[in-house]
Chains A and B, each alone.
Chain A
Amino acid sequence: DSGVTQTPKHLITATGQRVTLRCSPRSGDLSVYWYQQSLDQGLQFLIQYYNGEERAKGNILERFSAQQFPDLHSELNLSSLELGDSALYFCASSPQAPRYEQYFGPGTRLTVT
C-alpha cells in the first residue's frame, strides 16, 4: 500500500458526460501527478500540482482539467467524454518534485460507452 488513495476504483459512463476523479496523496506529500494509461499506450503524463499550484503540464486535453485543494487532495475533471478517454488514470504523489520518488495510487478505471 503506497498510501495514495484514489476514488472511485471503477467508473462507467456515457459519451458526452463529465466525471471527477479524486486523489489523496500520502501524508506530507505536497506534489500530485496525474497519468493516463490507455489500452495501446504507455503511461502518459497529464499534469502536476505542487502545494496547490500547477507545476507542469503534459499531454492533457483541453476537455480535462485538474486542481489541488488546500488539504492537498487533487481532482481530475474529464468532460465531454469520448470513447477514446477510456483508460486507467493514476495519481502519484511525492514530497517535492521531480527529484523524489513518486508513489502511485491504485488507479481509477474509466470506461466510456
Chain B
Amino acid sequence: ILNVEQSPQSLHVQEGDSTNFTCSFPSSNFYALHWYRWETAKSPEALFVMTLNGDEKKKGRISATLNTKEGYSYLYIKGSQPEDSATYLCALSNSGGYQKVTFGTGTKLQVIP
C-alpha cells in the first residue's frame, strides 16, 4: 500500500498572501506525480503532472516542484485569491507491472478576502 501524505490538512490565508503545501510519497518505484485542484461540488481539475526529479511546473500564480529522491513535492500559490479556495490533491502513480494511482487526502485551502 502506497502512503501519500499531504500537509497541512487545511489552511486559511488572507487574500494576497502566498502559501505552499507539501505532498510526501515513497520514493521507490516512482513514476509520476499529479496535482489536482478540487472545488466543492465540482470534479477534480488537473494542475500538473511531473515525472522527473527536479521538475518545476508553473500555471499562472501556481507552481510546483518535485524531488523524487527524497519523496516530496511542493505546491506554491503566489498572491492567493478567494477563487483559489479549494482542496488541492496530489496523486502518485507508481511504476512496475501493475501501476496504481494513490491519492493523498488533500489540503483544503480557504482564502479569506
Q: Which residues of A does B touch, CB under 8 Å?
A: 2, 33, 42-45, 48, 55-58, 90, 92, 97-107
Residue of A nearest to B44 (CB): A104
Which of chain B's residues have a CB closer than 8 A to the CB of A45?
Answer: 100-103
Q: Please, how many angstroms separate the alpha-carbon atoms of A27 and B60 in the complex? A: 27
The 3 closest A-B CB pairs, nearest first, are A98-B93, A101-B46, A104-B43
| Contact for A100 among B49, B100, B106, CB less than 8 A | B49
Which of chain A's residues have a CB closer than 8 A to the CB of B46?
Answer: 101-104
Check A97/B99 contact, CB under 8 A, given A42-B106, A90-B43, A104-B43: yes
Q: Please, how many angstroms separate the alpha-carbon atoms of A71 and B107 in the complex? A: 37
Instruction: Give chain B interface residues in 85-113, CB to chain A under 8 Å.
Output: 89, 91, 93, 98-106
Which of chain B's residues have a CB closer than 8 A to the CB of A33?
Answer: 101
Structural contact, A99 and B99, CB atoms closer than 8 A: no
Which of chain B's residues have a CB closer than 8 A to the CB of A100?
Answer: 49
Structural contact, A57 and B100, CB atoms closer than 8 A: yes
Structural contact, B49 and A99, CB atoms closer than 8 A: yes
Which of chain B's residues have a CB closer than 8 A to the CB of A99?
Answer: 31-32, 49, 51, 93
Instruction: Give chain B interface residues in 30-79, CB to chain A under 8 Å.
Output: 31-32, 34, 43-46, 49, 51
Residue of B nearest to A99 (CB): B32
Structural contact, B49 and A48, CB atoms closer than 8 A: no
Structural contact, A101 and B98, CB atoms closer than 8 A: no
Which of chain B's residues have a CB closer than 8 A to the CB of A44?
Answer: 103
| Contact for B101 among A98, A101, A106, A107, CB less than 8 A | A98
Check A43/B103 contact, CB under 8 A, given A100-B49, A104-B45: yes
Q: Name the distance in Å between B110's Cβ and chain A's nearest Cβ.
A: 18
Residue of B nearest to A98 (CB): B93
| Contact for A42 among B45, B98, B99, B103, CB less than 8 A | B103
Structural contact, B104 and A42, CB atoms closer than 8 A: yes
Which of chain A's residues have a CB closer than 8 A to the CB of B102?
Answer: 45, 58
Residue of A nearest to B51 (CB): A99
User: What are 6 inter-chain pairs, A to B, with CB distance below 8 A?
Assistant: A44-B103, A99-B31, A102-B46, A103-B46, A104-B44, A107-B43
Q: Please, how many angstroms separate the alpha-carbon atoms of A43 and B91 in the complex? A: 10
